[in-house]
């Protein structure tokens, strides 16, 4: 079943999330993965590291717990962009694939880039992280919460920056 906004923490709408499966992979098909169940979050990230990794002005990351994700084909290469943080890519075609690291109380996380999932329309972002770090000319028209950094307690904006 497809819904517009699959917030993992509160999908008590009768959906059977346990059977949900998302697949994805790189441009050339050498690396493929599957994720089981609903993601814990789907967010834009505007940080410099995500931009460097992907070549995009901003990314959307779909976050899963490590044990929800299985790499089913090929082997991803992981670049350690900072201690404990890995950014995976395909060494055949160069497609950026994931952010991987410690999610604090959530445990180890694998966040897949929305550009790699087979069904990107199924994942609507819930908010903007590291919004204060964004490229100044890049903004979206939604009214999602915008956090200065990823772990701010409250958003500093809930509308496009002007």
> By the criterion CB under 5 A, which residues form the site for Zn ion?
26, 28, 30, 45, 47, 50, 90, 92-93
Q: How far is the CB of 9 from Zn ion (least distance, A)?
A: 21
* Identity of the residue, 1 or 93, whose beta carbon is nearer to Zn ion in the bound complex: 93
Angle at 52 between CA 69 and CA 156, to 5 degrees: 85
Kindly report the backbone phi and psi dihedral angles of residue 158, in degrees, each rounded to the nearest multiple of 5, phi listed first.
Answer: -130, 30
Q: How far is the CB of 118 from Zn ion (least distance, A)?
A: 14
Q: How far is the CB of 19 from Zn ion (least distance, A)?
A: 28
With b for 16 or more beta-carbon neighbours within 10 A and e for fewer, the 115-143 pattern comes to bbbeeeebbbbbbbbbbbbbeeeebeeee
Structure tokens at 120: 């990107």
* Identity of the residue, 26 or 69, whose beta carbon is nearer to Zn ion in the bound complex: 26
* Identity of the residue, 6 or 51, whose beta carbon is nearer to Zn ion in the bound complex: 51
Q: What does the alpha-carbon distance between residue 1 and residue 137 come to, in Å, rounded to a whole number?
A: 36
Q: How far is the CB of 111 from Zn ion (least distance, A)?
A: 9
* Identity of the residue, 74 or 120, whose beta carbon is nearer to Zn ion in the bound complex: 74
């Amino acid at each position: 079943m497809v819904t517009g906004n699959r917030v993992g923490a509160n999908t008590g709408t009768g959906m059977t999330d346990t059977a949900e499966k998302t697949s994805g992979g790189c441009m050339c098909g050498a690396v493929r993965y599957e994720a089981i169940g609903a993601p814990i979050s789907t967010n834009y990230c505007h940080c410099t590291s995500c931009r460097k990794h992907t070549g995009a002005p901003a990314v959307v990351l779909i976050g899963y717990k490590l044990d929800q994700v299985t790499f089913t084909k090929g082997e991803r290469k992981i670049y350690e962009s900072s201690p404990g943080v890995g950014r995976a890519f395909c060494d055949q075609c160069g497609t950026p694939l994931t952010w991987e690291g410690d999610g604090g109380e959530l445990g180890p996380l694998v966040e897949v880039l929305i550009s790699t999932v087979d069904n990107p329309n199924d994942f609507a972002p819930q908010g903007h992280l590291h919004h204060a770090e964004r490229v100044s000319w890049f903004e979206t028209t939604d009214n999602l919460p915008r956090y200065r950094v990823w772990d701010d307690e409250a958003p500093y904006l809930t509308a496009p920056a002007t």
